[in-house]
């Protein structure tokens, strides 16, 4: 006798049951994006006429010091907990010795003080790397075509101390030199800045997605060669984990994965393995891709929220994103 297959009268699991209404979907959402998860990167210029929209980052502007103060006030109003300052420095003051990097009067340090004046409760994060002040656009000193490690670390320490002195809450070494976290932590402790935190750009890849940023800080035309001798090869996963392990052991308080969207696997693994505060940087090229497509009508604006929610699902505590103010406004309306 041929056996008749048993066809159930209804699907064994109706997973659509809990997707039926907004209330049920809200009740069963596993992750949420809130304004507290955002860090807003801002560009501050000291160049006369340097302010205004960055062509490869539509909707993002280089700000004057006054503009930076207004941005800080806006961040406070919107509930964004932190801004991260990126300097657009005078090209005539870029040198091989990068002395301006640790000048208390450089535009980055002036911006820290200006923001702390108007928004003392806003967390101010900085970037530590020599590129905004380096004539050749590299994050470290260049000697005979080589980006030298240990001399650069000594300069980064001076840069960090100037930023801490100016009132920064969180220092973000983005340079990828070896040994910098231990050197920074030791110097900060010795100088009495024991409460200044370090968010290490620990898993920072040699990425093509930084292109618009280099336009924004005026480094694109200058960069001699590429950054592959110090940033991580996009092919590598284990190496990123070793970087994170090393930086946490050296005293990093928080760690970052950068870029973000193509590296969500790394975000997840870093969070699961180290259980440390973990952040992703949705970098300039990711912003340009999404915003460009939105402005062309090729994608809907909802991809902005979706892309950020996915970082939360991947284990990130927060995201540095140029969408921060727009997202904060959207979340406030919801
Ligand atoms: C510089 C730095 C870069 C970014 C943050 N800090 C560029 C680079 O490494 O060349 C990129 C951020 C972005 O693309 O949004 N050390």
Query: Can you state the percent helix, strand and coil of the chain, rounding each to 5?
Result: 45, 20, 35
- DSSP assignment string, 2-68: PPPP---SS-S--GGGGGSSHHHHHHT-S----GGGEEEEEEEE-STT--EEETTEEEEEEE-HHHH
Percent of the chain with pLDDT over 90: 93
Region 5-15: mean pLDDT is 86
**pLDDT score, position 297:** 98
Q: Domain for residue 100, yes or no?
A: yes
**pLDDT score, position 51:** 95
- For the chain, the first-to-last Cα distance in angstroms comes to 62
Contact residues for 98 (Cβ-Cβ < 8 A; gap 6+): 130, 133, 134, 141, 155
Residue 222 has pLDDT above 90, yes or no: no
Nearest residue to 291 (alpha-carbon basis) of 87, 35, 54: 54
Residue 241 has pLDDT above 70, yes or no: yes
Query: What's 215's domain CATH number?
Result: 3.20.20.70
Torsion of CA 208, 213, 218, 220, to 10 degrees: 10
Residue 25 has pLDDT above 70, yes or no: yes
How many A from CA of 32 to the centre of ligand 1?
27
Q: Domain for residue 23, yes or no?
A: no
CA angle 180, 100, 191 (to 5 degrees): 50
How many A from CA of 261 to the centre of ligand 1?
15
Q: Which residues line ligand 1 (CB under 6 A)?
A: 127, 129, 131, 139, 174, 210, 213-214, 227, 283-284
**pLDDT score, position 218:** 83
Cα distance between residue 50 and residue 93, in whole Å? 15
Percent of the chain with pLDDT over 70: 99
105: three-class secondary structure by DSSP: coil
Give the count of domains, the chain.
1
From 128, 139, 171, mutation site for ligand 1 pocket: most ligand atoms within 8 A of C-beta = 139
Contacts by 307-312, CB closer than 8 A, 24 or more apart: 307/261, 307/282, 308/33, 308/37, 308/38, 308/282, 309/31, 309/32, 309/33, 310/261, 310/264, 311/260, 311/264, 311/267, 311/280, 311/282, 312/31, 312/32, 312/33, 312/37
Protein residue whose Cα sits closest to atom 12 of ligand 1: 283
Q: Domain for residue 132, yes or no?
A: yes
Q: Domain for residue 9, yes or no?
A: no
Q: What is the residue range of 231's domain?
A: 32-333
Region 114-139: mean pLDDT is 97
Cα distance between residue 172 and residue 279, in whole Å? 11
Atom of ligand 1 nearest to the CA of 210: 14
How many A from CA of 104 to the centre of ligand 1?
22
Residue 2 has pLDDT above 70, yes or no: no
Protein residue whose Cα sits closest to atom 2 of ligand 1: 174
**pLDDT score, position 224:** 85
Nearest residue to 126 (alpha-carbon basis) of 189, 197, 46, 53: 197
Cα distance between residue 176 and residue 204, in whole Å? 7
Q: Domain for residue 5, yes or no?
A: no
DSSP annotation of 205: B
Q: Domain for residue 145, yes or no?
A: yes
Q: What tokens appear for 256 in the block?
A: 């970052």
The per-residue pLDDT of the chain, averaged, comes to 96
Predicted model pTM: 0.96
Q: Domain for residue 242, yes or no?
A: yes
DSSP annotation of 128: E
**Paired strand residues for 54:** 57
Q: Domain for residue 14, yes or no?
A: no
From 160, 225, 283, mutation site for ligand 1 pocket: most ligand atoms within 8 A of C-beta = 283
How many A from CA of 319 to the centre of ligand 1?
15
Active site residues: 204, 258
Residue 1 has pLDDT above 70, yes or no: no
């Amino acid at each position: 006798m041929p056996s008749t297959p048993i066809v159930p009268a209804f699907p064994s699991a109706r997973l659509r049951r809990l997707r039926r209404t907004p209330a049920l979907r809200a009740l069963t959402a596993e992750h949420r994006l809130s304004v507290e998860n955002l860090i807003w990167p801002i560009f501050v210029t000291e160049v006369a006429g340097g302010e205004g929209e960055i062509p490869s980052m539509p909707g993002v502007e280089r700000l004057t010091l006054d503009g930076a103060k207004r941005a800080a006030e806006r961040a406070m109003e919107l509930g964004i907990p932190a801004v991260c300052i990126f300097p657009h420095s005078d090209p005539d003051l870029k040198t091989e010795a990068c002395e301006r990097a640790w000048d208390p009067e450089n535009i980055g340090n002036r911006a820290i003080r200006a923001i702390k004046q108007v928004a003392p409760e806003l967390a101010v994060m900085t970037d530590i790397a020599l590129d905004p002040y380096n004539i050749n656009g590299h994050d470290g000193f260049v000697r005979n075509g080589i980006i030298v490690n240990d001399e650069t670390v000594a300069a980064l320490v001076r840069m960090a101390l100037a930023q801490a002195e100016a009132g920064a809450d969180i220092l973000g070494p983005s340079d990828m030199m070896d040994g910098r976290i231990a050197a920074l932590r030791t110097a900060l402790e010795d100088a009495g800045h024991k409460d200044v935190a370090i968010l290490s750009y620990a898993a920072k890849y040699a990425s093509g997605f930084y292109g618009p940023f280099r336009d924004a800080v005026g480094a694109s035309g200058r960069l001699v060669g590429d950054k592959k001798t110090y940033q991580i090869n996009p092919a590598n996963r284990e190496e990123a984990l070793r970087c994170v392990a090393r930086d946490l052991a050296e005293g990093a308080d928080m760690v970052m994965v950068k870029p973000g969207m193509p590296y969500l696997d790394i975000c997840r693994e870093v969070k699961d393995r180290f259980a440390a505060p973990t952040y992703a940087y949705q970098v300039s090229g990711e912003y340009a891709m999404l915003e460009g497509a939105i402005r062309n009508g090729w994608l809907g604006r909802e991809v902005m929220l979706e892309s950020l929610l996915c970082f939360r699902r991947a284990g990130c505590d927060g995201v540095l994103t140029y969408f921060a103010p727009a997202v904060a406004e959207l979340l406030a309306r919801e």
